[in-house]
Amino acid sequence: MALFQSGQTDFANCTARAIPIPTLPGAKINAIIAAPGYNSYEYVPAGAFPNHGSVTVADLRFCNVTINYTSNGLQKPTTVQIWLPQHWNTKMQSAGGSGWTAGLTDAAFTAMTGMTGLGYAASTTNGGVTSAHPADWAYSSPGKVDMKVLEHYASTSLNDLSILTKSIITSYYGKSPTYAYWNGCSQGGRQGYMLAQKYPTAYNGIAASAAPITWTPLMIAGFWAQALMNEMKAYPDACQLAALTDAATKACDAKDGVVDGLVTDPDACNFDPYTLVGNVTSCIGYGNVTVTREAATVANTGWYGISTARNEFLHHGSNQEAAFTTRGNPGVLGPALSLLNYTWGLADVVCEGKSCHGKPHHIVEAWLKVFVLKDTTFNTSRVDLRMLDDVFDISVREFTEVIGTADPNLTAFRNAGGKLVGYHGLGDPIIPSKNSRRYVDAVLKVDPKAAQFHRHFEAAGVGHCYSGSGLFPEGIFDSLTRWVEHGEAPEQLNVTVPGLVTAGERILCPYPQKARYWGFGGFWTKSSYYCSEKKPFWLK
């Protein structure tokens, strides 16, 4: 199928001299570089293209515009890159970041390839930081966090990206984009919510998934497993924790009336991990392993949360199907995802012989050491539950105003006509899906009619962003564009699940609704399900 023909160009104006220098309030434009770009063929899988399905791009021609600018009060410049396709569909789509990056990474470029392949003008920003390691850019002087740099990374650079992208598009094509979209997952999801909260007119539509919305408490809460194991001075191996996860998934699978290997109704799951203490399990690489009480304590705390003397609520428990430790290779979808250095499990450990110690998630550990403790050499094995309480308070008190992304008042975004759609995997091992749910509840409390502009979906079996083997909603972004451009709110999402012989189909429903089984029909047939907040009478 041919791409849209609107806004075609022969690249004669793809030079820095032909593009007027844009105006960005409070900033100085240092340089603009423009050069034709070409991609003969690339298959962009769904996991590398957040909120989209897979895309095959062939004979892609675009003008690559790079802008270097410096914001007032900052010493280091920010870089923005904008791809302007030869066959433009009159719309723009900005790619979010991942991990500690704001964007402008291989992962962002892969997503932008998919975007421009679909006809969108695509853009991304590095947020003013050039490293995925915050210790390289967080300090104004040793041990002193540069709050202006953090704020620019967390929020202001995102609005800058919108302004610059729209300006360059207008100069290059001779008209403004008809619609502006943000697209991100994980860090990119947090950025999307930040835009809706702080810059409500920057984008018409925002796809923001698996977002670490309540950043300042969440980053410390993500250290719960390591602190607990340090407290117990016991580090259960992955085999024990996997056995507990598998047992809970099996026990709770049928709570929704469907036995399919997924826990689609985690609210109904109250599996007691202590019932497995003393059981022997076998794992490749581990042999026969006995489930210990310490392993059950990690699972129980991970599922049902921690309350302390000072913090009645410290963290959301994960759902029972979420893995506690790394399983498989997170880089199987290709190096473009930039996931090879990720530690997926919050309860990961490293064992040398019979001696084991914790292995904290690198994003969580960086936040704790670089920002909260302001000591990059700190030995995090010293963090127990009491200290976790202390650093939790510091994180919330010192940084919420700068990088906090949990303001439930989206009135300005609603009034601007914006639409926001996202999903969270119920099997997410690093950002509990209940974190997103709690935010949606808060938004609905402020505005009971928020579903008119904000819809959130929970995806059983899906890990962080794309990992896992569950009900991945690859049509999220398409549902957003139909809502923004045609007023068609996503009442449900169709999900296709590949099978060995034929593909199965299911639906996802906007929270607080769930997909309910009628009680008859095939488990993998979408007509067997309907959306409702209430359980069917026969499951009560």
Q: Picking from 282-296, 322-336, 391-405, 426-440, which range would have the lowest pLDDT averaged per residue?
A: 322-336
In a domain, 479, yes or no: no
Question: For residue 428, what are its two tokens?
Answer: 């997410």
**Which one has a higher pLDDT value, 309 or 368?**
368
pLDDT for position 49: 92
Q: Are residues 242 and 134 in the same domain?
A: no
Inter-CA distances, 339 with 51, 197, 218, 264, 423, Å = 17, 28, 20, 27, 20
Q: Are residues 353 and 241 in the same domain?
A: yes
Q: For 377-397, what is the mean pLDDT? A: 94
Q: Are residues 136 and 283 in the same domain?
A: no
In a domain, 30, yes or no: yes
Q: For 117-138, what is the mean pLDDT? A: 96
Report whether pLDDT(535) > 90.
Answer: no
Running DSSP on this structure, what letter comes out for residue 319? P
Nearest to 121 by CA among 168, 155, 159: 168
pLDDT for position 499: 58
DSSP lists the bridge partners of residue 87 as none
pLDDT for position 20: 93
Letter for the amino acid at 302? Answer: G
High-pLDDT (> 90) share of the chain, %: 80
Q: Are residues 99 and 242 in the same domain?
A: no
Report whether pLDDT(83) > 90.
Answer: yes
Kind plus residue range of the DSSP H or E element containing 181:
strand 179-185
Q: Are residues 240 and 328 in the same domain?
A: yes
In a domain, 437, yes or no: no
pLDDT for position 474: 86
Domain that holds residue 84: 1-159
Q: Are residues 232 and 130 in the same domain?
A: no
Structural domain ending residue among the three candidates 369, 399, 429: 399
Q: Picking from 84-88, 111-115, 228-232, 494-498, which range would have the lowest pLDDT averaged per residue?
A: 494-498
Q: Are residues 147 and 280 in the same domain?
A: no
Helix/strand/coil (H/E/C) assignment for every residue in 244-292: HHHHHHHHHHHHHCCCCCCCCCHHHCCCCHHHHCCCEEEECCCEEEECC
In a domain, 505, yes or no: no
pLDDT tens-place string over residues 203-245 = 999 999 999 999 999 999 999 999 999 999 999 999 999 999 9
pLDDT for position 498: 65
In a domain, 108, yes or no: yes
pLDDT for position 339: 39
pLDDT for position 309: 66
CB 529 within 8 A of CB 518: yes
In a domain, 248, yes or no: yes
Q: Are residues 129 and 239 in the same domain?
A: no
Q: Are residues 364 and 245 in the same domain?
A: yes
In a domain, 492, yes or no: no
Structural domain ending residue among the three candidates 380, 399, 418: 399
Q: For 123-140, what is the mean pLDDT? A: 96
Q: Picking from 330-334, 351-355, 467-471, 481-485, which range would have the lowest pLDDT averaged per residue?
A: 330-334
Q: Are residues 146 and 6 in the same domain?
A: yes
Q: Are residues 370 and 280 in the same domain?
A: yes
Counting the structural domains of the chain, the total is 2
Q: How confident is the model at residue 327 (pLDDT cuts 50, 70, 90)?
A: low
Report whether pLDDT(44) > 60.
Answer: yes
Q: Picking from 61-70, 295-304, 498-507, which range would have the lowest pLDDT averaged per residue?
A: 498-507
pLDDT for position 502: 53
CB 99 within 8 A of CB 128: no
In a domain, 139, yes or no: yes
pLDDT for position 3: 32
Q: How confident is the model at residue 332 (pLDDT cuts 50, 70, 90)?
A: very low
Q: For 46-65, what is the mean pLDDT? A: 92
Q: Are residues 366 and 243 in the same domain?
A: yes
Residues 6+ apart with CB under 8 A from 456: 421, 422, 423, 424, 436, 437, 440, 510, 511
Structural domain ending residue among the three candidates 399, 434, 452: 399
